Amino acid sequence: MGTVNEMLESYGLKKVLSYLDNNPEENVPKVLNWVRKFDKEDYYHNAYELLDEALKDPDNNWYKLIMSLYTDIDTGVRKKLFENFLINSAILGCQRKNKNEEKYDCNIPWAILMDPTSACNLHCTGCWAAEYGNKLNMSLEMLNSIIEQGKKLGTYMYIYSGGEPLVRKNDIIKLCEKHDDCAFLAFTNATLIDEAFADEMLRVKNFIPAISVEGFEEATDYRRGKGTYQAVIKAMEILRNKKLPFGISCCYTSKNVDVIGNEEYFDDMIAKGAKFAWFFTYIPVGKDAVPELMATAQQREFMYHQIRKFRQTKPLFTMDFWNDGEYVKGCIAGGRCYLHINANGDIEPCAFIHYADSNIKEKTLLEAYQSPLFMQYRRNQPFNENHLRPCPLLDNPGRLTDMVKKSGAVSTDMTNPEDVEELSAKCKDAAEHWAPVAEKLWEASHPIIQDKIS
């Protein structure tokens, strides 16, 4: 961390965290109270309240999840991730980020998602990655520059996507070494995780894979290719045996939602060692998109209920990036919480929004945050007072089209540029069918707010 005050706070928080390993059952609640004191803005108020209650009950699923980090995860890895994620990113980094947002009057992200390469060893049905071209790469120097710039503004969380980011596994490890104060995560198909790479993860201690899996063997191999599921299971075994943390990334579609939302699937992933699960719904981006894979309104509602139900019973941290809009007050893209930089250097507001008016080769991060496209996001968020309809593409027809046209942003697809009106048209029916379902769910959980909206 940079300033004297930040360094003193970081030192104090690290000393507090050091007590955890002595007796986590007794000391975790004490440390939670200390951490809250350092979080001067009480930024994570709801999380503190939830954890405070959960830690009083050994049978609570959150209690079990936290304690599993002490039995299942390597001690050095756990300490490093606690320091980087809790202290540097979630508390001190967010304080710096918030100050800079006020200073520069723009969104500054908590996390940056970036593609080291567009290359991938798989070709999944409906995936847009190949349309960027299979030869695009950001240099190690460029990736390092992004991280250097990001840290100065308060961003200490970096997420790799692609393509398949582990095509660049050696460079990823170098960046983990150079920036050992950051937390790194990668969306990966896991087929390139082997014993040697897991040993490197164990050495640097600040890298976590989010393994893409579409359900059990039949569903995963249907979209990702025969043999992929068995490769994924092998990677999970390697990571679990070395006591390395990992999670899963699940794209639910019209073809696999019954599997993804099934209790048996949740239990199986937990048994295999997953500590978190990130859920996405399929978006028909790109020329090779398959609109038939979009989940129906009824299927999206099914996932809404299933994930909330399992949060109360399963020791697994879950996030649903559309249905959880109510917890983050709508859309998190456009730098509000995160953004995406593709392998060509185009700075996009979201991994699913392939339009940009800035490129990291030509602009600094701060200049991109202040660009017309990102300022359009800042001025227009939230895109709907019903935060179960957060997305300007999937949930609110016309909002993305309007922002792209006003900002002068262009398609970042290198081979088949997609007109924003054509992209939005593919999502219109889904938005119209989801709207009444979302209103019903929102009214049920926010009756007073709904009355005011009406």
CATH of the domain at 385: 3.20.20.70
Which two structure tokens, joined as six digits, stand for 267?
Answer: 């239990």
Give yes or no: residues 54 and 123 share one domain.
no
121 vs 118, 239, 258, 319, 359, CA distance in Å?
10, 21, 28, 27, 26
Query: Angle at CA 399, nearest 5°, toward 333 and 390?
Result: 45
**Using CA of residue 73, residue 76, residue 79, residue 82, what is the dihedral sign?**
negative
| Residue whose entry in the numeric block shows the structure tokens 């390469």 | 117
Please state the pTM of the whole predicted model: 0.90
CA-nearest of 153, 165, 209 to 341 is: 165
> What is the predicted pLDDT for the residue at 24?
72
| Residue whose entry in the numeric block shows the structure tokens 């393994």 | 211
The answer to whether residue 323 sits within a structural domain is: yes
Identify the bridge partners of residue 411 per DSSP, sorted by sequence position. Answer: 355
Give yes or no: residues 259 and 392 share one domain.
yes
Contacts of residues 32-38 at CB distance under 8 Å and 24 or more positions apart, as own/partner, are: 35/86, 35/91, 38/9, 38/12, 38/13, 38/91
Give yes or no: residues 132 and 195 share one domain.
yes
The answer to whether residue 87 sits within a structural domain is: no
Q: Which of 72, 89, 117 is the last residue of a domain?
A: 72
Give yes or no: residues 159 and 238 share one domain.
yes
Length in residues, the chain = 454
The answer to whether residue 384 sits within a structural domain is: yes
Give yes or no: residues 434 and 382 share one domain.
yes
| Amino acid letter for position 77 | V
The answer to whether residue 22 sits within a structural domain is: yes
The answer to whether residue 289 sits within a structural domain is: yes
Q: What is the full DSSP assignment across 325-373?
A: GGGTTS--TTTTSEEEE-TT-BEESBTTB-EES-BTTTS-HHHHHTSHH
**Using CA of residue 74, residue 75, residue 76, residue 77, what is the dihedral sign?**
positive
DSSP H helical ranges for 39-165: 45-54, 61-71, 75-81, 94-104, 140-153
Cis peptide before 162 (omega within 30 of 0): no
The answer to whether residue 409 sits within a structural domain is: yes
Q: Which of 72, 97, 118 is the last residue of a domain?
A: 72
Q: Which of 17, 48, 72 is the last residue of a domain?
A: 72
The answer to whether residue 77 sits within a structural domain is: no
d(CA 25, CA 37): 20
d(CA 66, CA 136): 40
d(CA 314, CA 174): 35
> What is the predicted pLDDT for the residue at 129?
55
Give yes or no: residues 171 and 314 share one domain.
yes
Give yes or no: residues 34 and 170 share one domain.
no
Provide the number of structural domains found in the chain.
Answer: 2
295 vs 270, 283, 330, CA distance in Å?
24, 9, 20
pLDDT in tens, the chain (454 residues): 555 455 545 555 666 666 666 677 776 776 667 666 666 666 666 676 777 777 778 889 998 998 899 999 999 999 999 889 988 998 889 999 999 999 999 999 999 999 999 877 656 655 555 455 567 899 999 999 999 999 999 999 999 998 899 999 999 999 999 999 999 999 999 999 999 999 999 999 999 999 998 778 776 766 667 778 899 999 999 999 999 999 999 999 999 999 999 999 999 999 999 999 999 999 999 888 889 999 999 999 999 999 999 999 999 999 999 999 999 999 999 999 999 999 999 999 999 999 999 999 999 999 999 999 999 999 999 999 999 999 999 999 999 999 999 999 999 987 889 999 999 999 999 999 999 999 999 999 876 544 444 3
Pair 360, 141: CB distance under 8 Å: no
Give yes or no: residues 279 and 177 share one domain.
yes
Give yes or no: residues 195 and 125 share one domain.
yes
Residue 14's domain spans which residues?
4-72
The answer to whether residue 82 sits within a structural domain is: no
Give yes or no: residues 63 and 125 share one domain.
no
Give yes or no: residues 51 and 140 share one domain.
no
Stretch (H or E) spanning 305: helix 297-311
Residues sharing a CB contact under 8 Å with residue 51, sequence separation 6 or more, in sequence order: 32, 62, 66
Give yes or no: residues 265 and 401 share one domain.
yes
